[in-house]
Amino acid sequence: MTERLESPTANAVKGRFDGQTAIVTGSTRGIGAGIAARLAAEGANVVVSGRTAEAGKAVVDAIEADDAEAVFVEADMREPDDISALAEATAETYGSVDVLVNNAGVQTETPVDEASMDDWAFVLETDFRAYWLAAKAALEYMDEGSIINISSNHAESTMPGLFPYNAVKAGINGMTRAMALDLGPSIRTNTVAPGWIEIERTREELPDGRLEEVESIHPVGRIGTPADVAGVVAFLASDDAAFITGSTLLVDGGRGAVMQDDTLPDYRRLNLE
């Protein structure tokens, strides 16, 4: 079983982003908060954003407690004016934007034939349109740098009743390719597609005993943590990934390699034998 990374800053590369500024949308909790903490630990000035000031300030406080730099800017990613203001506030505070992580997202549990226009607008405006608008706004203050769009393994294979979330995630991967071609060579754009990640929502969705079952069908023997995603984002944003753009990196503990669950052993038990 691979080591479980609880702290997003555990393997931080000190100084990797010194002098750079990163915006992380939807970073008041979960994966976004982990990404913000990791980039800050590696030296970036991080702008935490979201709709809840109290939660955002708590993330900033935690970052500052580790002697790193962050500020919170309240922004609703469904509001174009808020998106523009987020980029502007970042530039006013730190002078420029070097890294944009589009992470804010929502989902509805609706099948194709039952989804409403409100469901459609709710997901597309937050998970899709906002990624494009955030990139446009940030580009006004970017001479070079990196955009990383957080998608999902649902872009490739999915489950019933998650429309239009699953469709939008596939769209994000396509958007990344378009951005890579149109914004290169100065701006690299890539997608990170997480699989099962243990965050508050995941724990709520999994009844007693189900978490262990889900872990058992991952070839690494566990589900992911925000730290697992944050490390990949930091890599893609760094010069170590200077020759990577237009790509989607699946971060799913091997689930994408599985064709049929009932053919699998229990990977957790194999680790103990």
Active site residues: 165
CB 177 within 8 A of CB 147: no
Tokens of 123: 């997901």
User: Residue 14 CB: number of other CB atoms within 10 A?
Assistant: 10
Tokens of 117: 């226009």
Identify each DSSP E strand in the chain by its residue range.
21-24, 45-50, 69-74, 99-102, 145-150, 187-194, 248-251
Query: Which of 171, 190, 193 is CA-nearest to residue 246?
Result: 190
Q: CA angle at residue 61 from 59 to 65, to 5 degrees?
A: 120
- Which residues touch 68 (CB under 8 Å, ≥6 apart)? 37, 40, 41, 43, 46
How far from each other are the two terminal CA atoms of the chain, in whole angstroms?
A: 12
- Rounded distance between C-alpha atoms, residue 54 and residue 67, angstroms: 20
- Rounded distance between C-alpha atoms, residue 222 and residue 115, angstroms: 32
